Amino acid sequence: MQFSIVKSIEDGLPLKAYAAEPDAGLAVRVPINNKPGSESSNFRLIPPGAPQTMAPFSAAGPSPPARFIDPSVPSPPITSVPPSGAPYQRFPAPPFPSAPQTPPNRAPPVGQPPFQPPTSQVSVPPPSFRPQTQVPPMAMGSPPQNANFPPSRMNVPQPPSDSLLSGPRPNFQPPFPGYPSKQPVVSQAPSSFPTHQGSFMPPPAPPSAFPSQQGSYGPPPPVASNLGYQSRDQMQHPVSAPPIGGVQSLTEDFSSLSVASMPGSMEPGLDYKALPRPLDGDVMPSSFLEMYPMNCDPRYLRLTTSAIPNSQSLVSRWHLPLGAVVCPLAEAPEGEEVPVINFASTGIIRCRRCRTYVNPYVTFTDAGRKWRCNICSLLNDVPGEYFANLDATGRRIDLDQRPELIKGSVEFVAPTEYMVRPPMPPLYFFLIDVSISAVRSGMIEVVAQTIRSCLDELPGFPRTQIGFITFDSTIHFYNMKSSLTQPQMMVVSDLDDIFVPLPDDLLVNLSESRNVVETFLDSLPSMFQDNVNVESAFGPALKAAFMVMSQLGGKLLIFQNSLPSLGVGRLKLRGDDLRSYGTDKEHILRLPEDPFYKQMAADLTKYQIGVNIYAFSDKYTDIASLGTLAKYTGGQVYYYPSFQSVIHGEKLRHELARDLTRETAWEAVMRIRCGKGIRFTSYHGNFMLRSTDLLALPAVDCDKAYAMQLSLEETLLTTQTVYFQVALLYTASCGERRIRVHTAAAPVVTDLGEMYRLADTGAIVSLFCRLAIEKTLTSKLEDARNSLQLRIVKALREYRNLHAVQHRLGARMIYPESLKFLCLYGLALSKSVPLKGGYADAQLDERCAAGFTMMALPVKKLLKLLYPSLIRIDEYLLKPSAQADGFKNIMKRLPLVAESLDSRGLYVYDDGFRFVIWFGRMLSPDIAKNLLGPDFAAELSRVTLTEHDNEMSRRLMKILKNLRESDPSYYQIPYLTRQAKLMIYSSS
Amino acid sequence: MNVEDDEDRELEKLVNFSEWYKRFNDVRVVVKQYFSDSGGGGGKMAWDLIFWVLCFFINIALLASSFYQLLSLSDLEADHLNPFEAATRINSIVLPEFLLQGFFCLSFLLTWHWFMFISTLPITVYHVMLYLNRKHLLDVTEIFRDLNTEKKYRFVKLAVYLLLFTVVLFRLLSASIFFFFAWKFEELDIRTSLFY
């Protein structure tokens, strides 16, 4: 059954705004924008001189925050609560108030009236609280009507609330002194506060209820509380944002039915393991492949739902994105490589009309003399050389020798008609900032060493070309002619009128000039070690590089350590200007400041130059502007804030090496064709559109994915099946022009339920992610999150409407099996760096860099980033002889909830971009000593993890190595953190 | 005899003159009437004509630029033009168009053609707004995403220019009618007969 997960809406989705639009119920929002940090505000003690707003609750005594009301109420009180009070109480229940409302300045937490949390949770005008009770039609809001609910409601929030809410009370205060450091990160837009707060007052809950509740919760279990906090704190990770927050309460509500047997019990007896959590990572939809075994593997093409709606009206009821995520060059496991086919003299077989490539779904007729295109159903002639007889069932007899007719993914060798010029050689050009900050950070040295060590592995030997430009306030060109013994440096200081001092020899063939290049790279760090120039003529240098490369195209790697300050394209420190934050103009900061960057990006794409940006600065460098270059040239942005070669060197080394050595497709264009009646209308990712449906990708590799949305052109589709064909025309590093073709078929359905059944959460989340990030470029972060939530809620409501009647679900919310993680990922997404919180929750640069990265991430990596894995390793480390089997066992992902963390344990948290190694407070000191050496007692944030000469340390390193190898596209540096009294997971 | 002759001659001359002058006087009245009516000087009518001719050409230029931009966008959509070229083409004429349109609008203000001024004002304001927000040029990188809005915007502009064109054409015709007909056939002119 699709709705295996049944949940009571009432308890669950904390339904912030629901009352605002009672009729629609649209406003039900998963409190996705909750911020971990803001929780803490929930637990604030009531200040001694409580503000007047506190009055109604004063009966409750000074210390208990209003929030405890709900969870802590023992069952009798709550059932007795008048209906009007119930909704109010319910609101506080979800432990994770929405983020944006937390005041930025957390430092004096005690002074805050305790009421903020509940209010903040509800980011709707407060009056909505009461209306909620008046929302019977949607049942979501009207709790007390259903007798079954109170118990479950009681029950559900408990585990979290027990530990999370009441627990922290005792030890809440001490941690705060340490807290301020985190504050800026966590703080939120302040403005909404006062208003909410004030308006929150009107709906006064019956005060009488409070004392009792409070009493019941007086002595909370301290350990649990701590755990609760820590797990939450996890969410402060800029990237990870695990779903523990609202979604946890949400997912826990799923199981409300099963737990209902022990209503009112105070034990946190909920088995959190039973709740749906994506612990297997990304599960690719298999039904798709089973239905159409000749489809390409989902790693290349994933549809948000494998059932294509047949009518406009059906599309309008499908509130999730309808589209596809394409990763044309995804790495295939051993033995599943895409077959390369050379038609040679025949020429590539394509449909005359729609230019579709021959694929497994074409049908041969007329005794094999004709074939019918599956996309436009035109009858084409089969060329003489390609002719084969048909057998009795109408299949070609040579089918097993024709991979293009049995496999969904093939690669054709393209003849000369597919070239506008001879295939270009792989070309790497480096633009390196050598100003003082670059020298000081040690970046130049790491870069030079890494490039040198990769020279052998650069793809395309012996045609590979290479070139360098360095710049500070002047631009330095290097003549690397093979006849020279060492490179000649030429300095151009006229920034207004850039010229290239030499026509050739700035870009040389690597195999011919190998010695010169090596000499150059060896001497590069020392050449500038005394440079004291602080300026950066980035724009002119970029133009110079463009001039050098424009003949051939290729890949331009830019290493930038400071804000461009000279010549064209210089940028202002606009990110440091606090005035524009929090206003309607805030989004402008996330867009390139100077049109130069967009223009330059367009020119670079035109000349087949792909840009990768490596940014290192500890100060504001306007990644929004710099990243634009990567965005429109199909590149990516690597951001190492406050780069120190000691700490981040390894990461840079690995990622740069990966960038240089991974298989790259050059001067590529990609197009996705689909059957009649549907059309791809919008494309999302890092690329530039060359025409309405042609993606220009100067350099593309396996780590890039592109998303697209489709729409129906006709009101009614009459076909049974729709076919999609992705074609990527590119130049391989070996100099061959190739076309990679992925074909997939999907059924056309008339039923919305079927669409839900075949939905693919990963692809949906990926599209949502891109849409939301794009939205942050034109509107506020909050709007982006809200629209995301709204769509999820709409979709689930639609699904509920679909089944509510026949299953008499009453007030419950149901989820299709295929989308059981959607809410969780939605929450995680709105806590991800590009979207989370208010302006102060992440550095602008960090936000932009993460945005550029996430716009290109393949589905699997994105999901891992959104729901990182947590692994307990201390037992494995202690085991006397841990062999391979033991290793397999420990690689078990734990749910990201407080209960997963044991203070006696050692955990590794891995989001694909970094590790957090978490030392429990009660972890045996032996382990710490063995792993950290003499530093084990020191402040962990200052300790770097190195291998020590003992078995345990070696094992840990092996674990980390294995984790890294499972996905080599990024390198995770370990951040160490110790369980604090309160939390603080890591302070990276 | 001589004297009389002389006097007669003089008298005759006087009569002739007054006869001749009478005609002249009529014209003066007509001219005076005409000018006092439309509140200008003798050159005004000519200036009026020149002004409307100028407006006519400006308007044609604006129409042409709008049309050209639309054409380029349609070409782009139909893949007959790549985005780089389309953007360069369009962006190169955006500013001249803005300036021309600004001049067009301003000239109406300076010549106290209130109706025309008000009807051109919205576009001018919109142009200024675009320019101040730096949104007047097409963004090559996002050109396809903006294609529909850009087309719509130019369609609207084209329609407005067409409307203006009809008005300008009408004013031009009336100005030229006055200019030519008032002098050559003053007798036929309604106004001349009216003021006799």
Instruction: Give the model confidence (pLDDT) of A737-746 as tens digits.
Output: 999 999 999 9
Q: pTM for the whole thing?
A: 0.73
pLDDT in tens, A487-517: 999 999 989 888 888 888 899 999 999 999 9
| pLDDT at res. A578 | 75
H helix intervals, chain B: 2-38, 42-77, 83-110, 114-132, 143-184, 190-194
Residues in A closer than 8 angstroms to B140, CB to CB, are 598-599, 602
A403, pLDDT greater than 60: yes
Q: Which two tokens stand for residue A480?
A: 């690397």
Residues 129 to 148 of B: which have CB under 8 A from any A CB?
134, 137, 139-141, 143-145, 147
Question: What is the C-alpha to C-alpha distance for residues A110 and A114, in angstroms, rounded to an integer?
Answer: 9
- Single-letter code of the amino acid located at A148: N
Residues near A638 by Cβ (< 8 Å), separated by ≥ 6? A612, A613, A614, A615, A652, A655, A656, A659, A849
Preferred mutation among A689, A697, A774 to probe B, highest tally of B CBs within 10 A: A689
From B77, B87, B134, residue closest to A692, measured CB to CB? B77
| pLDDT at res. A97 | 39
- A954 to each of A873, A877, A958, A977, how far by Cα in Å? 13, 9, 6, 19
| pLDDT at res. B182 | 65
Neighbours of A350 (CB within 10 A): 17
- Single-letter code of the amino acid located at A41: S
CB contact under 8 A, A602 and B144: no
| pLDDT at res. A256 | 32
Question: What is the C-alpha to C-alpha distance for residues A830 and A773, in angstroms, rounded to an integer?
Answer: 10
A46, pLDDT greater than 50: no
Cross-strand bridge partners of residue A742: A409, A726
Q: Are B59 and B161 in contact (CB under 8 A)?
A: yes
| pLDDT at res. B1 | 53
Regarding predicted confidence, which is higher, A907 or A238?
Answer: A907
What whole-number percentage of chain A has pLDDT above 70? 69
Per-residue exposure over A217-247, b if at least 16 CB sit within 10 Å of its own CB, e if not: beebeeebbbbbbbbbbbbbbbbbbbbbbbb
Per-residue pLDDT band at A896 (split at 50, 70, 90): confident
| pLDDT at res. A314 | 92
What's the whole-number mean pLDDT along residues A750-768?
Answer: 92
The least confident of A21-25, A67-71, A968-972 is A21-25
Map out the domains of chain B as residue ranges: 43-180
Per-residue pLDDT band at A417 (split at 50, 70, 90): confident
| pLDDT at res. B28 | 60
Say yes or no: A691 contacts chain B, CB-CB below 8 A.
yes
Preferred mutation among B140, B142, B150 to probe A, highest tally of A CBs within 10 A: B140
Question: Considering chain A, what is the average pLDDT of its residues?
Answer: 74
The least confident of A940-944, A983-987, B104-108 is A983-987
Residues in B closer than 8 angstroms to A689, CB to CB, are 83, 143-145
What whole-number percentage of chain B has pLDDT above 70? 78
- A592 to each of A247, A588, B86, B143, how far by Cα in Å? 34, 8, 22, 16
CB contact under 8 A, A602 and B76: no
CB contact under 8 A, B141 and A691: no
Instruction: Annotate A233-272 with DSSP letters as a single string.
Output: HHTTSTTT--TTTHHHHHHHHHTHHHHTTSTT--S----G
| pLDDT at res. A232 | 36
B33, pLDDT greater than 90: no
A152, pLDDT greater than 70: no
- A408 to each of A18, A514, A676, A843, how far by Cα in Å? 46, 41, 20, 43
Regarding predicted confidence, which is higher, A691 or A325?
Answer: A325
From A632, A682, A691, residue closest to B141, measured CB to CB? A632
Say yes or no: A849 contacts chain B, CB-CB below 8 A.
no
- A195 to each of A20, A85, A122, A192, A702, how far by Cα in Å? 16, 21, 12, 6, 49
Per-residue pLDDT band at B49 (split at 50, 70, 90): confident
Which residue is listed with tokens 């200024």?
A: B128
Kindly identify which residue of chain B lies nearest to residue A633, measuring between CA atoms. B141
Residues in A closer than 8 angstroms to B79, CB to CB, are 691-692, 694
What's the whole-number mean pLDDT along residues A826-839?
Answer: 89
The radius of gyration computed from the CA coordinates of chain A, to the nearest angstrom, equals: 30
CB contact under 8 A, B144 and A689: yes
A409, pLDDT greater than 90: yes
Distance from CA of B122 to the nearest CA of A (A): 25
From B134, B141, B147, residue closest to A688, measured CB to CB? B141
What's the whole-number mean pLDDT along residues A575-596?
Answer: 83
What's the whole-number mean pLDDT along residues A745-769?
Answer: 92
Per-residue pLDDT band at A950 (split at 50, 70, 90): confident
| pLDDT at res. B6 | 77
| pLDDT at res. A61 | 38
| pLDDT at res. A147 | 35
What's the whole-number mean pLDDT along residues A56-80?
Answer: 38
A984, pLDDT greater than 70: no
Regarding predicted confidence, which is higher, A124 or A875?
Answer: A875
Q: Are A404 and A410 in contact (CB under 8 A)?
A: yes
What whole-number percentage of chain A has pLDDT above 90? 38
Residues near A661 by Cβ (< 8 Å), separated by ≥ 6? A454, A457, A458, A459
| pLDDT at res. B174 | 87
Question: What is the C-alpha to C-alpha distance for residues A235 and A802, in angstroms, rounded to an integer?
Answer: 34
A211, pLDDT greater than 60: no
Q: Are A164 and A43 in contact (CB under 8 A)?
A: no
Q: Are A603 and A596 in contact (CB under 8 A)?
A: no
A164, pLDDT greater than 50: no
Of the CA atoms within 13 Å of residue A403, those in its CB half-sphere come to 16
Question: What is the C-alpha to C-alpha distance for residues A824 and A277, in angstroms, rounded to an integer?
Answer: 8
A751, pLDDT greater than 80: yes
Distance from CA of B99 to the nearest CA of A (A): 21
A433, pLDDT greater than 90: yes
| pLDDT at res. A243 | 36
Kindly identify which residue of chain A lies nearest to residue B83, measuring between CA atoms. A690
Kindly identify which residue of chain B lies nearest to residue A683, measuring between CA atoms. B145
Per-residue pLDDT band at A956 (split at 50, 70, 90): confident
| pLDDT at res. A924 | 82
Question: What is the C-alpha to C-alpha distance for residues A656 and A660, in angstroms, rounded to an integer?
Answer: 6
| pLDDT at res. A762 | 93
Per-residue pLDDT band at B48 (split at 50, 70, 90): confident
pLDDT in tens, A98-133: 333 434 444 343 434 434 333 333 333 433 334 333
Per-residue pLDDT band at A611 (split at 50, 70, 90): very high
Question: What is the C-alpha to C-alpha distance for residues A517 and A481, in angstroms, rounded to an integer?
Answer: 9
From A599, A682, A694, residue closest to B140, measured CB to CB? A599
Task: Please write down the HEC assignment for all residues of A783-795.
Answer: HHHHHHHHHHHHH
Kindly identify which residue of chain B lies nearest to residue A597, measuring between CA atoms. B141
| pLDDT at res. A922 | 83
Per-residue pLDDT band at A855 (split at 50, 70, 90): very high
The radius of gyration computed from the CA coordinates of chain B, to the nearest angstrom, equals: 28
The ipTM is: 0.72
What's the whole-number mean pLDDT along residues A663-673?
Answer: 93
Q: What is the DSSP letter of A304?
A: S
| pLDDT at res. A982 | 53
| pLDDT at res. A92 | 39
| pLDDT at res. A65 | 39
pLDDT in tens, A254-276: 333 333 323 333 334 445 555 67
A814, pLDDT greater than 90: no
Say yes or no: B180 contacts chain A, CB-CB below 8 A.
no
Q: What is the DSSP letter of A623?
A: H
Per-residue pLDDT band at A283 (split at 50, 70, 90): confident
Neighbours of A127 (CB within 10 A): 14
A780, pLDDT greater than 70: yes
Cross-strand bridge partners of residue A475: A471, A492
What whole-number percentage of chain B has pLDDT above 90? 48
What is the number of CB-based contacts under 8 A between chain A and chain B? Answer: 35
Q: In terms of C-beta density within 10 A (0-12 exposed, 13-18 middle, 19 or more buried), how is residue A81 classed? A: buried
Residues in A closer than 8 angstroms to B144, CB to CB, are 689, 691-692
CB contact under 8 A, A690 and B82: yes
A808, pLDDT greater than 70: no
CB contact under 8 A, A602 and B84: yes
A75, pLDDT greater than 50: no
